[in-house]
A and B are shown apart, each in its own frame.
Chain A
Amino acid sequence: MKLGLVVDLDTCVGCNACAVACKQWNTSGTTGPLTDLEPYGKDPTGVWFNRIRNYELGDYPDNKTVHFPMSCMHCEDAACVTVCPTGASYKREEDGIVLVDQDKCMGCNLCAWACPYGARELDPEEGVMKKCTLCVDRIYDEALPEDERQPACVMTCPAHARFFGDFDDPNSEVSRLSRERGGEHLMPELGYKPVNTYLPPRNKPNIPTYKNETNPIEKVKDWVNRLVAR
């Protein structure tokens, strides 16, 4: 199995609900707490497994802000696993999830240096490294209804921009979406073979944001609007 996420950059609206749901589930989960520091202070910080980056695609007026949720990519050849001196960071054979053994991690931080996706965060109170577990304590929980055995971020996404599944199964939804929509990996050139896949934004027709002054219908509309405004 090769479990991972598909994130649709076309529909993601950057609402941060996935990040909050992740935090809520995992802070009380097996790798919790996800320590918060000064949550009500001037500069609140804390441990998050999922953060939303934003970047601009194209130049104005043909631009688009792309919201890019990023968590652990569960790379097939993960740099964090390679550099971890104690083997606390490991990749599970059975499903490919990259995890941190919280009892073996000594908090040396080298994995945070090595990860090109900035997916690892040291819990400053617990002194150990934490990261996305793909909600491993949820996806295998047989006490939950089957359709709820998905990561918290996928369950909560209001735009249905997140999908979870097995990339080794060519008929799974994640494989199909990736195939049909031309799913891409972030920085594949580094060779870590990230599993999480991003569906690129679709090309959309430009919506004019200015009035066409030469159009006679627009001129009539303007005249009516002015008349009504009086």
Chain B
Amino acid sequence: MVLKLVLFIMLFSTCVYAKKSARTIYYKAAQKQYLKKKYKKSIRTLEKYYQIRNPKNLPTAVIQLLALNFLKTKQLKSSSRYFHYVIRRRYKKLHKRVINALENETIEDMKVPQKLLRIYYHLGEIYYKIYHRTKITSYFRASEKYFNICEIKEHLDDNASEYLEYLAKLKTQVDQKEFKSDWFANVGILNWQEKLELQSQSTGSKTKLLSNARALCVGGGYRYSNAFHGIEISACGFSGSAKITANSTASYSQDGVAVTGFLLDSGYIIKPKSGKGSLTISLPLFYRDGEYSQPENFSILGQGQLSAGVMLKGRYELPLIDFTTSIGSLGWTNLFMMQAGYTF
């Protein structure tokens, strides 16, 4: 019995030892190949023993070696992914503190291990290269972030500064391309002319009416744009007064008629010369309701109307506020609006 037990233990321990030594052999071999700049071979060596596509089950040292190999073989996104695994395993809390300190400008007083700084430097490089390939702003920002940490913590700071200089040259371009969400409020005046009809209830005959109205409009909206183009949705509610007369005669006439309603529009913004002036082509929905009094035996057609059409808006950003002029054609209705707005 004792002999059996001894034999079993011996067999088991040999197996474990053999497994462990094989793992070490492969890792060491891959490490040597990396140092000899045989990056692809290094990856293949690790692939023989590890399931490298599933980093969850890999030792951290292997993940780091793979990240370095991927960086050298220009598999940048994989490299970034594996470096982030290393950070998550070894420096999760510290990394969060470093990022917060960078944002709060207190990083200078913080101690950051060299190994983590090395990873940051690699990440800076990776995102710099990906940005150049894709021109996606988030990579630019990420690269800037990691190089900033390295520069402040004086880790390869000359190289990091050089990278940051290149990035600074591109910054205006990147800032201009980045889309931003803006909420805004505005107040303005609008006036419009429209055609209505007066219908005799007994004969059914119709008389054309013309109405001029003006109102105070208060509203706001949402804008999603970069320095070149974007989209906008806005709405405003208005209240004002109108005059209505029979077309070309004053046989039917009312003045000071209360009108209320709303104007909704969504449109495409073009910002020529990437400046503070923009043109918007929008599709408005315009609802108004006039409290016109109806003569006995007559009814007014078009008292409450919903119209759709097209509107052209010019927007000018001034110091503090912006100014917008809008011209709209909505069927028989010509609309004109001037607004002062504030972007939050």
**Are A and B subunits of one complex?**
no
A positions within 8 Å CB-CB of B: none
B positions within 8 Å CB-CB of A: none
